[in-house]
Every structure is written in C-alpha cells, then in structure tokens.
Amino acid sequence: MSPQEVLSGLDGFTIEVPSWAYGNSGTRFKVFSTPGTPRDPFEKIADAARVHALTGLAPRVSLHIPWDRVEDYGALAAHAEEHGVRIGAINSNLFQDDDYKFGSLTHTDPKVRAKAVEHHLECVDIMAKTGSTDLKLWLPDGTNYAGQASLRARQDRLADSLTQIYAALEPHHRLLVEYKFFEPYFYAMDIPDWGTALLHCQALGDRAQVVLDTGHHAPGTNIEFIVMQLLRAGRLGAFDFNSRYYADDDLIVGSADPFQLFRIMAEIASVGGHLPESGVNFMLDQCHNIEDKIAGQIRSVLNVEQALAKALLVDTDALTSAEEAGDVIGAHDVLMDAFHTDVRGALADRREARGLPRDPMAAYRASGYAAEIAAGRIGGTQAAWT
Ligand code: PSV
Ligand code: MN
Ligand code: MN
C-alpha cells in the first residue's frame, strides 16, 4: 500500500479539545495570563474552532460545568455550529465546593451526596440543550490518612450515587468515568485505577465506560496494556490525552514521550479503535500556562495525528509472523520501523489534498488571529481551579 492509502485510515478520526485549554489555567502556582485569553465560553469556542479550521481534526469542544455555565446553552451550541464545531463531553465538577471536604458522591451525609448527584442532573440537562452525548465524571474524592474513613463504605455510597446519575441519562448518552491514582488526596482516591472504574461501569451498564487520562498513572505504568484491556472489555470510552514528566502535568500530548503515545495508538489501531464506529472519544485534557494556548492545542492535535499515522504504518502481517516465530528482535523492529518513519510530509500532502494548510502552525502564525484577539479581548478570565 502507498503511504497515502495507509493514511486514509485517518479518515474520520477526530480529537476533542477542552474549553479550559483556552482559558488561563494550569498550575497551583502562578497562572500566567496570555493576551487575548477568552472572556467567556463563546470566545473559548471561537478559539477552539480555529484549531479545527486549520487542522481539520478537532470538530468538538468539551465543556466544564460550572466554568462554562451560560444562560442559554442552545445559543452556545448554535454559536459552536456557526463556527464549524459542536459541543462534546460535558465535564462535571466536584472539586471546588466547601461541602465536599470529606467527599462528594462518597460523603457520609446523604444531603451532600444528593447535592453532588444533582449537579450531574444539571449536566445531563445541559447535554440535552447542547446535543452532547457524553457525561464525563472525574471523582476527586479520597482520603489522606489510613483509618480516616471506611474505604469499603465509600465504595458502596459511590455505587449508589453513580446508579442515580446513570439512571438520569437518556438512552443515547454515555457516562464516562475517569480514574486517577493520587491528588487531591494522597492516601486513597476512591476511583484510583482502571480496575475500580471498570467495576463501577460494569455494575452500571453498557453505556458506562472508562476514561483513560494519560497523566493519571504512576511513573512506569504500561498504559498501552490498560488500553488493550479496556478495549478487550469493550469499555474504553475515551482518552484524556496529555503529557507528563512527574505528576498530572497536563502538558502537550506527545511532548515528553512520543514513543509512549505511539505505543498507545498502535494498540488502538491494531483493533480499529481509531475508527469513529469504535466509540472511543479521543479528548485532550491540557492546560497551557506559559505557551500560546491556541498554538499549544494545534501542536497537540497534530501530535496525536502523527502518532496514529505511524501506528497505521505498522506492518501487521510481518509483526504477527515475527511474533509467532518467536522472533523477538524482528517483531520489535517491525514496530520501531513504523515509529521511526517520518510521516510529516505525507500528512502535509494529505492536508493539502483536503483543502487544509500544509503546515497548520505556520498558517496560524501567519493568520494574525493572535494579534486580533489580543487587541480585542481585554481582561480574559481565569478559567480554572488552580
Ligand atoms: C484533574 O486531575 C483533572 O485534570 C482531571 O483529569 C479531569 O479530567 C480534569 O481535571 C477536568 O475536570
Ligand atoms: Mn482528565
Ligand atoms: Mn488530570
């Protein structure tokens, strides 16, 4: 097959961008503001639409409630459509309320749990108004000290809360459950790992699926193994892509370890998990504190595209033969050949053939958009929870 034929495997592949990547966010230390930062969700969507217009890869924007609360969600969805994108997952927020000091969906007090469930009902309502089909839940609950709370009772209360949330979904909605092994609590998170997330999803039903955030694992974790296992179980609902050196760094995906991103995408591509019908939502979960936000997002979606392109180049027949023959080095070489292939020219050709700029980053820089928003938007807001 020619490179262009192989790369036709990218047709239909899309990446969802987070609204919070366009706002000022990203660290519990100094948050550096960028000139032109959006002042409201409408402007965040306008910026996200730029990324899609230049790359053809990012037609959806995730919202985060309450950061993206507006009066008229229909108007926000219409605004997105006018800009050539649409609303993606609705992210709930359980980590900024004093009532949740000792837990939200796991809290011992039924009133606090009811409040946390109610917040998700608001999110489901927003889904109906915006056409979103994914409700994404990252549970920040956990404990700092052994004996602080009953680990088991917290799981039971969580299961009950999740059941109420799941019951509120419409038939075409999914519940995406994210896990994280540490932070904001450090002894035990209540959904620390993919096993816990999977068990809750399996108890809820088919439309409950796991979100894998690449920054939410201990150093050295073999993430592609988890990807494979969740795909086998039919429960890989989504990715939160980002890059990390130390913790949950939320940096540009593929920047620290492009090889890891390739290995993940190779697992995905080996079973067609990149195809739209697989249902895996490839989202970004990133913050851009010192770099230009729109450029950061362009680089991110291009990094994911590039990793997938390389993954599609893997000679699967040769790989299987080598694996079955016990040819350890031969099999590894097949994978590395694909990884070492420079696909940038072929991807530029493909973009050009689709009426997109060959070099989206250069096109963005030449467009004058950054200067335009810097001049037009004074006082961009702090978007996040730093
Ligand atoms: C916190 O770790 C976090 O980064 C989670 O990954 C969520 O997906 C995100 O915040 C937005 O709520
Ligand atoms: Mn995440
Ligand atoms: Mn995170």
Query: How confident is the model over 109-114, as a mean pLDDT?
Result: 98
Q: How far is the CA of 27 from the centre of ligand 3 (A)?
A: 11
Q: How far is the CA of 191 from the centre of ligand 3 (A)?
A: 13
- SS3 breakdown of the chain: % helix, strand, coil, rounded to 5? 50, 10, 40
* Angstrom distance (rounded) from CA 60 to CA 11: 16
**The ligand 1 atom nearest the CA atom of 92:** 12
Total domains, the chain? 1
Q: How far is the CA of 28 from the centre of ligand 1 (A)?
A: 13
In degrees rounded to 5, what are phi and psi of residue 356?
-105, 160
Q: Is 285 in the pocket of ligand 1 (CB under 6 A)?
A: yes
Q: How far is the CA of 142 from the centre of ligand 1 (A)?
A: 15
Residue 118 lies in a domain: yes
User: For 18-76, how does the pLDDT look when each residue is reduced to its tens digit (9 = 90+)?
Assistant: 999 999 887 778 898 889 999 999 999 999 999 999 999 999 999 999 999 999 999 99
Minimal-distance CA residue to ligand 1 atom 2: 248
| Per-residue pLDDT at 5 exceeds 90 | no
Residue 31 lies in a domain: yes
| Per-residue pLDDT at 287 exceeds 80 | yes
Residue 117 lies in a domain: yes
Minimal-distance CA residue to ligand 1 atom 7: 138
Q: Indicate the top mutation candidate among 138, 176, 214, 289 to test ligand 1's pocket, ranked by most ligand atoms within 8 A of CB.
A: 138
Q: How far is the CA of 252 from the centre of ligand 3 (A)?
A: 13
Report the mean per-residue pLDDT for the chain.
96
The token duo for 306 is 């590039």
| Per-residue pLDDT at 386 exceeds 50 | no
Q: How far is the CA of 288 from the centre of ligand 2 (A)?
A: 14
Residue 203 lies in a domain: yes
**The ligand 1 atom nearest the CA atom of 136:** 8
Q: CATH number of the domain that 298 lies in? A: 3.20.20.150
Which residues 6+ apart lie within 8 Å of 52 measured at CB? 58, 59, 84, 85
Q: Is 68 in the pocket of ligand 1 (CB under 6 A)?
A: no
pLDDT for the residue numbered 6: 86
Nearest to 247 by CA among 283, 214, 290, 272: 214
**How large is the ipTM?**
0.97
Minimal-distance CA residue to ligand 1 atom 4: 285
- Concatenated DSSP letters of 109-151: SHHHHHHHHHHHHHHHHHHHHHT--EEEEE---EESSTTSS-H
- Prediction pTM value: 0.97
Find the domain containing 259 and state its range: 13-312+343-376
Residue 327 lies in a domain: no
Residue 325 lies in a domain: no
Which ligand has its closest atom nearest to the C-alpha of 386?
A: 1
Residue 83 lies in a domain: yes
Residue 152 lies in a domain: yes
CA 233 from chain center: how many Å?
20
Which ligand has its closest atom nearest to the C-alpha of 139?
A: 1
Q: How far is the CA of 97 from the centre of ligand 3 (A)?
A: 18
